[in-house]
Structures are given as C-alpha cells and as structure tokens.
Amino acid sequence: MERSGPVGSVGDRNWHGSARLAVSCALLFCAMALLVDWDAGSLTPPRALLWLALSVAAGVVLLPPRVSAGPGWLAVRTPWRRRFVRTDALTSVRQYDGVSSHLVLRDVSGNRLELDPRVLTANPLIWHELDTGVRRSVERGTLRHGAELLDRLGHRIDDETVRAVLRTSGLSR
C-alpha cells in the first residue's frame, strides 16, 4: 500500500513508475537534442539552455497527476495545483469520453476534481475509499447525478480485479 499524505491515506501505486518514465523521456529528449546539435556543430550555451528548458517542459507535461485518497476525501495533485473533493459530500459525478476519458467529481463546497478512471481500476484501495464516500453521499442525499455511473464503474473494476486474480492464480488465461 502506497502512503501519500496524511495517515490513513492511500496513493496511486503506479505513480512512481509513470513519473520515472516521464523523467526518463525528458532526459532522453535532452540528451538526443544536445547530441544532434553538437554533432551538427551548432551547439552553443544559449542553445543548450534552450534544449534543457524544453526538456524540463516536456517532463512537466508528461508527469502524471498524483492521486491519493483517504476517509471521506480524494485529491489529485499536478505540478501546478492540488484539487480536493469530499467524497462523502459529493453532488455530482460525470464521465466525459473522447481522446482521454475522465471523471469529473463535484462536492457540496463547490470543489471540482478531474480523474482518469484507469487510476481507480489500477488502484483498488483508492476505489474503495471513493466508493465508501459515494455511499455516504447517497445516504445523505447530496449525490444527485452520477451514482449509476459509479455503480457501473464499480462493477467493471470488480470484474477486472476478479480476472486479474484468476490470471495470477493460473485458473484463467
């Protein structure tokens, strides 16, 4: 279980690997750009600084958001900001499909958070925290839109988890 934040919180267990890949891609881009520029005989200190700045920008863009959850809350942190919602006081959940499918969660305080549903699929502990909070929101009557969407997502996550367990145990392909 990945700890990320306050005691009792869980984090995206795949984030470190994805962040390492983003940094590796940025470093490789920097090295290749410098090497090509040097080989062409046009590498100067300002150009080297430009390649370094572009590599840092590429690394920041490629860096995945860091998702963490705890009892009653869900947070997504990017290099620029941290978004936070109370999962036990949600008002709506919507899913937007397209190039990149994402969930948009809103709570009673007006906080808004966007989340890739694949993070929930890959992290059952984060899903559990969200699901528990959603159930409380439904009990309290604050969740007006999206309960059925999360129900379908929960069934899909459960199905994928069962398939993964069966594959790991050798009972299925």
Calculate ∠ Cα 66-134-117, nearest 5°.
Answer: 40
pLDDT in tens, 125-171: 999 999 999 999 999 999 999 888 888 888 888 888 888 888 888 88
The size of the chain, in residues, is 173
Q: How far apart are CA 61 and CA 88, in angstroms?
A: 31
pLDDT in tens, 39-85: 999 999 999 999 999 999 999 999 999 999 999 999 999 988 999 99
Q: How far apart are CA 130 and CA 11, in angstroms?
A: 12
Calculate ∠ Cα 102-70-23, nearest 5°.
Answer: 55
Model confidence at 4, pLDDT cuts 50, 70, 90, reads very low
Q: How far apart are CA 62 and CA 69, in angstroms?
A: 22
Residue 105: beta bridge partners? Answer: 93, 113
Contact 26, 150 (CB under 8 A): no
Q: Single out the residue of 89, 152, 85, 157 nearest to residue 125, CA to CA.
A: 157
